[in-house]
Structure 1
């Protein structure tokens, strides 16, 4: 099913973007790797946003198949699973948008590239105060997204290892 490929592609991209963001913001401004990392971080962030839209479309189309949690899960596990999934989807939409807003609003900043396009149109006015707000929100959303991914993986491992697989093992659904 294409949703599996999309899931793993998004997982790799999101973790890569978080690692890249963490690394590049810890470097000096004149670091030569910044010229490579920042534009790639921006364009892969846009790709994650687009893939999140595709994911939402597939999720809407195949609603009955995708949202069916195993019956053996406890009610709180079902609730937490759905909440984490919804947060991950929301944050994969919101975090790149905040990154775009941050890049678009900085005075004297570089444009936002996207692979075959020289740049994505900038829709926001240049404003350093807005930039600071978008920068903080982008950072906190990325950390929240990472926390959700960690909880997602912890839930998978709990059902796989502690529950000894069986009816609550959700990992085979995505492999």
Structure 2
């Protein structure tokens, strides 16, 4: 028997599972809130007094959760990869990498957008105003705004692909070992 072989685990550690689902709810809520905010008329005062500050605060929270998840993933024992066909394994890996990249980039673009907009009152985090590190510049704001919106919808598309993949493995694959959902429950 080899001493350095660890027994395999079937589930992700509880902390990572909890953070995964909290983050999932936050991201879906942030995308829904972002869509709602941008469709409301500018004369709706709650848009600027309530929705924007909450969206920014929860966006910062989501960013911090992703950083925490990444740090914990690097220190945790994780389940072995599911035995997927090579093309599905490559797609799964690419989707996960792209999702994590966007989970970091989208809030950074939101921060840059709020920080650079000349009419913005800053970036609140549940009552604490974060420092604005970018100069006020409405031309840059429009670039960050475009990126924030476009990348948020790209993230939504990847989330949909992620969910469809998990459901496909759960309900349509003949090999039950590809069912990855129980590992995250």
Aligned pair 1:30/2:43, yes or no? yes
Partner SS, residue 22 of structure 2: helix
* Structure 1 spans left out of the alignment, 5+ residues: none
Q: Which residue of 55, 66, 84 maps to 1:52?
A: 66
CA–CA distance in 1 between the matches of 2:18 and 2:174?
Answer: 26
Deviations 1:131-162 (A, max 9, x none): 00000000011011001100000000111111
CA drift at 1:33: 2.5
Aligned pair 1:120/2:130, yes or no? yes
Deviations 1:97-138 (A, max 9, x none): 000000000012121110151x10000000000000000000
Q: Which residue of 144, 149, 157 maps to 1:139?
A: 149
Tell me the equivalent position of 2:82: 70
- In the TM superposition, 1:99-118 aligns within 5 A as 99-117=110-128
Moved over 4 A (4+): none
- Number of aligned residues: 171
- In the TM superposition, 1:77-92 aligns within 5 A as 77-92=88-103
CA drift at 1:164: 5.0
* Structure 2 spans left out of the alignment, 5+ residues: 1-13
CA RMSD of aligned residues (A): 1.2
Where relative contact order (Cα < 8 A, 6+ residues apart) is larger, the structure is: 2
Deviations 1:4-31 (A, max 9, x none): 0000000000000000000110011121
TM-score by length of 1: 0.94
Q: Which residue of 33, 45, 55 maps to 1:41?
A: 55
